[in-house]
Structure 1
């Protein structure tokens, strides 16, 4: 990769902006966010017990989701108005504050507040990084950038759980939060000087404002609450849960048309289809992944470490797929790469479902399936990001990024809740093959809908072929 970009400033400006340091800083930021998410999932049971907060355990994750979804929309508005540099710097600072608030918690409510602040930061940083790539890198360089980003996302899955467990037992659960601060400081040191120069350029050479109406913040808040309600309703099967789920669905029906591109709920071609595919595939993959280790432990009798290794295998597949989509030798249009990735996810889910339904099937089929599923996610997630950039005006990259990432988070939360409800309904009967088989088959059906939706995207050229 070229180490420096063309001068982003005028002819008498300082030296060119370094794309190398920008790349390192963005990737380090992603590693910090991903490590924190994995580490918190490992350490949260200990932290909740120490703070006598088991009764409100779920709120540490639900409020993170609410903060993330709201900030995703808000950051898209700001990035379109002032560029990505200032929101990116603000996101790093907010993330550091959230880590300190959570790590210094003496009561559970403070830990939950810290998680909410971290969710706000995650939403800001996710959109800002996307827009930084859209505006800071040439079109042919973006596929490789997304392969770097994908690698940064999955890298903590290899080291996160054991490191988090070691920190928790050796120094205490607060260091799971404090331990991320040095990595965040490194990311800030790498990326902020470049972002400051980019911000100066944005002030002197602002992007022509978009003619589209910005997404209203009230709709962002309503959608975040709706998504959290659906997620909470899926955690338990009770009569009240139906009312909670209906309230969440109503909130989404009111808010989504104002947050998504026109025609999203009518399954229009182009950008609405791209965002729908992203949400469906994320929902199918994560809705199944939540139950893969449990299936291997309960039904097949594997040790927990071996069951968890399947997820690591999926991460390897994800990284491989992300790198392959960035290679010029892959002579496919971007929309066809998305369809190919969707088909790999469906095939992977069917492999895992076959091992669940029929215990005589070789247990390794789950690993094979998860390599395929991860490979498909690596290809499709990067490609939907690139397709969104191609289908969006420069002045609307922030709004498009927020819609895309909101759709992904919504799809993951919604279908994880649905798979959890299926599990809760069938598991008490004791028929494990039926329970896990139906869960995985249901997620395969979601992936099948994702394939159908990918065929509605339309022609999107591959940047590497231009």
Structure 2
């Protein structure tokens, strides 16, 4: 019979394993998608393999955050891992692109439970000063997954079936679940009340419809967009009505409206927009405009992934000396400082400059994210910590979806108004990107049009980055307790 004492190091190991399972999924699936499409077909549904996962993950994050406050972290975490692994098994057996997309929806539900609950568990077990070191370790998990994901995906595709990119989650998830089952013993009383299932269902439908609508703008026809928009508007209206009459609302307006939480969540949403803009368009600029190889483009972008954990680690070490708000504001300033580099990039610029800009943005996001999580978790009770953590992650995911739509629209507008790109086909753009450094000449007109359009995109991204800094400076001064008892 296991001891009723929570073993923090072993629970932390389980948290890192669960986070690694979620983090590596994105990079490893990206590597294997060409082979998956080659076998299953459905190239026109390519983007939905990623959108489906993000859609349900974002839509259920807040629901599971609320459940973690009401039913306990351990229960929600174990349920989330089971759902994620079940979805992984199904993905490996997918026989067509539509079936794979449906199974990715299941995976996303599991991720929506695991990620916020894992961060909430860390907030329960470690005081604000102890968490300084822990946040650096957790951030390193995402950097490690970014490095190992493409390597693991390439090896699996080369030597095994693509199904194993999903099935490899099984041993990782099983070990994480065993760690939580055996070593996590919650001492706090669970939050009072119960979850309103109707509110949860309507909220999930509303967020899913909003995200699907944003995604459909660039992938679907007018009829599909119209139908999804109607569903989104009706679902949002029903959710507002239901929340006003519910004694146990899904979203506490009082909680979300507190100035520190509202400012941190606003900065998180805007950071999500900058992050997706950089992820989507920096490789295109390096390959299509600078005419460098995909490998160099990958290195320029990976600087952000590496800068994030470095920023988190350095920032948390400065909490005691400078204060959480100072670290958070410093991160907010670094994001536009790094984003400005992309505004001044030209075709003749060195990709090293792009990498440095990416690094500075990553450092800023690492500082801001780690400080924000600690700040919002410390100012709420145990019974609200799951909800407030989920709200922060929800804001970042929603920001990524908004960013993909906004920056995509800016790019399309730039190409449309360009004299050369008006007649450019997607095949011409693809060939320009594929040439890389092999043919530096390429189509000079199309290359110039792409440079102009991406410049507009980077300018708009810099504007959003300035708003990140503004939101960070809205965070008020907060005084933390010197120590907090284990799991309160």
Q: Does 1:150 align with 2:133?
A: no
Residue of structure 2 aligned with 1:271, choices 261, 264, 267: 261
How much has 1:338 moved relative to structure 2? 1.9
CA separation of 1:208/1:56 partners in 2, compared to 1, >3 Å: closer, same or farther?
Answer: closer
Aligned Cα root-mean-square deviation (Å): 2.8
Residue of structure 1 aligned with 2:192, choices 199, 209, 215: 209
Once residues 276 and 420 of structure 1 are traced to their aligned partners in structure 2, the CA distance between those partners, rounded to angstroms, is: 21
How much has 1:264 moved relative to structure 2? 9.4
Once residues 338 and 378 of structure 1 are traced to their aligned partners in structure 2, the CA distance between those partners, rounded to angstroms, is: 9
How much has 1:349 moved relative to structure 2? 0.9
Once residues 232 and 281 of structure 1 are traced to their aligned partners in structure 2, the CA distance between those partners, rounded to angstroms, is: 22
User: What do residues 203-245 of structure 1 show as CA deviations (whole Å, max 9, x unaligned)?
Assistant: xx51452799996431232112212211221457x76687578
- In the alignment, structure 1 segments of 5+ residues that lack a partner are 1-12
Residue of structure 2 aligned with 1:293, choices 258, 283, 289: 283
Once residues 465 and 316 of structure 1 are traced to their aligned partners in structure 2, the CA distance between those partners, rounded to angstroms, is: 31
How much has 1:254 moved relative to structure 2? 4.5
TM-score normalised by length of structure 2: 0.83
Once residues 189 and 359 of structure 1 are traced to their aligned partners in structure 2, the CA distance between those partners, rounded to angstroms, is: 52
Given that 1:275 and 1:403 are in contact with CA atoms closer than 8 Å, whether structure 2 keeps it comes out as yes
Aligned to 2:476: 458
How much has 1:447 moved relative to structure 2? 1.2
Residue of structure 1 aligned with 2:180, choices 191, 194, 198: 191
User: What do residues 41-65 of structure 1 show as CA deviations (whole Å, max 9, x unaligned)?
Assistant: 2212321331122233333223212
Residue of structure 2 aligned with 1:219, choices 185, 200, 203: 203
CA separation of 1:393/1:330 partners in 2, compared to 1, >3 Å: closer, same or farther?
Answer: closer
CA separation of 1:465/1:432 partners in 2, compared to 1, >3 Å: closer, same or farther?
Answer: farther
User: What do residues 391-432 of structure 1 show as CA deviations (whole Å, max 9, x unaligned)?
Assistant: 322211122122211111100111122111222232335312
Taking the TM superposition and a 5 Å limit, the aligned residue runs for 1:48-197 are 48-195=37-184, 197=185
- In the alignment, structure 2 segments of 5+ residues that lack a partner are 244-249, 416-420, 423-445
Aligned to 2:458: 440
Q: Does 1:232 align with 2:249?
A: no
Q: Which range is displaced more, 301-310 or 418-427?
A: 418-427
Aligned to 2:253: 262
How much has 1:253 moved relative to structure 2? 6.3
TM-score normalised by length of structure 1: 0.87
Q: Does 1:362 align with 2:345?
A: no
CA separation of 1:140/1:343 partners in 2, compared to 1, >3 Å: closer, same or farther?
Answer: same
Once residues 477 and 47 of structure 2 are traced to their aligned partners in structure 1, the CA distance between those partners, rounded to angstroms, is: 42
Q: Which range is displaced more, 81-90 or 36-45?
A: 36-45
How many equivalent pairs are there?
A: 444
Once residues 367 and 244 of structure 1 are traced to their aligned partners in structure 2, the CA distance between those partners, rounded to angstroms, is: 42
User: What do residues 65-97 of structure 1 show as CA deviations (whole Å, max 9, x unaligned)?
Assistant: 232123212212211112100111111111111
Once residues 367 and 191 of structure 1 are traced to their aligned partners in structure 2, the CA distance between those partners, rounded to angstroms, is: 39
Residue of structure 2 aligned with 1:304, choices 294, 315, 319: 294
CA separation of 1:405/1:233 partners in 2, compared to 1, >3 Å: closer, same or farther?
Answer: same
Once residues 221 and 453 of structure 1 are traced to their aligned partners in structure 2, the CA distance between those partners, rounded to angstroms, is: 29
CA separation of 1:262/1:269 partners in 2, compared to 1, >3 Å: closer, same or farther?
Answer: same
Taking the TM superposition and a 5 Å limit, the aligned residue runs for 1:20-59 are 20-59=9-48
User: What do residues 147-170 of structure 1 show as CA deviations (whole Å, max 9, x unaligned)?
Assistant: 221111121111211220221132
Given that 2:89 and 2:167 are in contact with CA atoms closer than 8 Å, whether structure 1 keeps it comes out as yes
Given that 1:320 and 1:378 are in contact with CA atoms closer than 8 Å, whether structure 2 keeps it comes out as yes
User: What do residues 366-391 of structure 1 show as CA deviations (whole Å, max 9, x unaligned)?
Assistant: 11101101101111111111121023
Given that 1:233 and 1:242 are in contact with CA atoms closer than 8 Å, whether structure 2 keeps it comes out as yes
How much has 1:271 moved relative to structure 2? 1.2
Once residues 331 and 24 of structure 1 are traced to their aligned partners in structure 2, the CA distance between those partners, rounded to angstroms, is: 28
CA separation of 1:465/1:188 partners in 2, compared to 1, >3 Å: closer, same or farther?
Answer: closer
Given that 2:71 and 2:191 are in contact with CA atoms closer than 8 Å, whether structure 1 keeps it comes out as no
Once residues 300 and 63 of structure 1 are traced to their aligned partners in structure 2, the CA distance between those partners, rounded to angstroms, is: 32
Aligned to 1:6: none
CA separation of 1:245/1:348 partners in 2, compared to 1, >3 Å: closer, same or farther?
Answer: farther
Once residues 391 and 304 of structure 1 are traced to their aligned partners in structure 2, the CA distance between those partners, rounded to angstroms, is: 45
Once residues 318 and 47 of structure 2 are traced to their aligned partners in structure 1, the CA distance between those partners, rounded to angstroms, is: 44
Residue of structure 1 aligned with 2:327, choices 337, 341, 344: 337
Given that 2:70 and 2:191 are in contact with CA atoms closer than 8 Å, whether structure 1 keeps it comes out as no
CA separation of 1:58/1:307 partners in 2, compared to 1, >3 Å: closer, same or farther?
Answer: closer
Once residues 261 and 414 of structure 1 are traced to their aligned partners in structure 2, the CA distance between those partners, rounded to angstroms, is: 23
How much has 1:364 moved relative to structure 2? 1.7
CA separation of 1:53/1:291 partners in 2, compared to 1, >3 Å: closer, same or farther?
Answer: same
Once residues 317 and 167 of structure 1 are traced to their aligned partners in structure 2, the CA distance between those partners, rounded to angstroms, is: 28
Given that 1:102 and 1:174 are in contact with CA atoms closer than 8 Å, whether structure 2 keeps it comes out as yes
Residue of structure 2 aligned with 1:414, choices 402, 414, 418: 402
3-state DSSP of counterpart to 1:417: helix
Once residues 308 and 80 of structure 1 are traced to their aligned partners in structure 2, the CA distance between those partners, rounded to angstroms, is: 40
